[in-house]
Chain A
Amino acid sequence: MDTAVVGAHATENDQNLWEGGKSPFRASYGKLMMWYFLLSDAFTFAGFLIAYGALRFSSPTWPVPDFVFSSLPGGVHGAPLIFVTIMTFVLIASSVTMVRAVQEGQRENRRGVVFWMGMTILGGLAFLGCQAWEWTTLIKTENMSVSVNPFGKHTSDGQYLEDAHGHPYSASQEAETFTAGQSYLIHKDHDSGDWIQRKYQTTDGQVLQQEFGPKAFGALFFFITGFHGFHVFSGVVFLLIIMINAASGLYAARKNGYEMVEKIGLYWHFVDLVWVFVFLVFYLL
């Protein structure tokens, strides 16, 4: 056979690369499978984000992100997107420390690996802490849930007929006005716990009351950011296990060295990669 003759003297041509005996992708089985797992996971996340897009397209109004996400710890309001920007920096920083851990692994520097993986874990925990605060604010203070979305948007100009507590304006009070596209948050009454959907009059004379925003928003937000947060959490657990293994000297004794660090590194960068798109879709657009 021709191929046998070719195989005898050619070393690096494409045909005998696939005849077995060597790795055509020059990657170990574990690393290759990590790539394909990440590919499948990318499709899962893409499916969720595309569902968000489709539902957003299908809705006449949609909550404005820089109105919804405008709180900071310490009771600060009206600081649009600042907190999520900080969260993004935390995740980018933890991705960078992960790159350093992989580099130290390639140099077989055990102490370096353990130190930089530790920094990465701290970054991951900080991110989870930020997310916990963000969720708590939305659930406890702003009363958003998977089925109730109190963030609405006016579709026309007009003025309110009631004050923020839902009581009709007295003669001395000046009515609050609004313009089309302006966002509002429906509050709950402190004592009764009832929703206060304020009545208003549009400029063409219609008397209406504040409607809730599209229901799907809450479910999509908690599900997608929750799924991402769960990835961060599992990443932290795996990082911890691999850091302990590295510290114990397990990888120093292995034939393939610190490859486990590279594999968890791929996963961790992927979590950062997904956040790039979650950040884009939920907070920027």
Chain B
Amino acid sequence: MEHHNIEEAKKVVFKGLILLGIITIVEVLIALLGNGHLVHGFSMPKWIMYPLMIGMSLYKAYFIIYEFMHMRYEVKGLVYSVLLPTMLLIWAIIAFFNEGNHWKHNRKVVQDRDRIEAGALPVSAPSATESDASGHNQ
């Protein structure tokens, strides 16, 4: 269950430190390079940056759970009973992000409805109130 000897174990720990550090640096470099902070006039589209950064973060999570938290050495039943329930989050992410997207597209409807409930008439306002409708007003 444990590592064979202390020297080998120390090596695994050192490897972990280097690995997590390098992945973090690469993530930050992608963020800075992609947003045009490092090379003047160069930037990356979000659909390249985001999957890369999400993928690397998931790998870090895998490494922390399997090596640092020793999940690799646990019995299958324990592994599944802890990790499988988190799969529910996949649906939660899809559902709530989709919901958020609908809020964005229905902001005007919601705001008009709020005005009706407040006793006023719905205002079919042109683009001048567009910034109002985005809810930024203080």
Contact = CB atoms under 8 A, between A and B. Distances in A.
Interface in A224-264: none
B68 A59 contact: no
B136 A25 contact: no
Given A39-B85, A214-B135, A26 B61 contact: no
Contacts of A59: 104, 134-135
Given A81-B28, A272-B64, A277-B61, A106 B2 contact: yes
Nearest to A195: B138
A50 interface: yes
Contacts of B82: 35-36, 38-39
Contact of A53 (B61, B93, B107): B93
Contact of B28 (A85, A95, A107): A85
Contacts, number: 159
A117 interface: no
A32 B89 CA distance: 22
B32 A92 contact: no
A79 to B, nearest CB: 10
Contacts of A85: 24-25, 28
Contacts of A55: 100
A88 interface: yes
Interface residues of A, number: 64
B6 A27 contact: no
A32 B71 CA distance: 12
Nearest to A98: B68
Interface in A204-238: 208, 211-215
- Dominant SS at the B interface? helix
A272 B131 CA distance: 39
B57 interface: yes
A188 interface: no
B6 to A, nearest CB: 6
A96 B17 contact: yes
Interface in A126-156: 148, 152
Interface string B25-68: 10110111001010000000000001001100100110011001
B59 to A, nearest CB: 10
Interface string B1-36: 011001001100100110011001101101110010
A99 B77 contact: no
B75 A66 contact: no
B100 A54 contact: yes
Contacts of A26: 74-75, 78
A278 to B, nearest CB: 10
A99 B74 CA distance: 16
Contacts of B16: 96, 99
A36 B42 CA distance: 46
A72 interface: no
Contacts of B74: 25-27
Given A25-B77, A50-B89, A284-B27, 6 more contacts: A36-B81, A57-B100, A96-B68, A107-B6, A272-B68, A283-B31
Interface of A: 24-27, 32, 35-36, 38-39, 42-43, 46-47, 50-51, 53-61, 64-66, 80-81, 85, 88-89, 92-93, 95-96, 98-100, 103, 106-107, 148, 152, 195, 208, 211-215, 265-266, 269-270, 272-273, 276-277, 279-280, 283-285
18 contacts: A25-B77, A27-B74, A27-B78, A35-B78, A35-B82, A36-B82, A46-B92, A54-B100, A60-B107, A66-B37, A85-B28, A89-B24, A92-B17, A95-B64, A99-B13, A266-B69, A283-B31, A285-B54
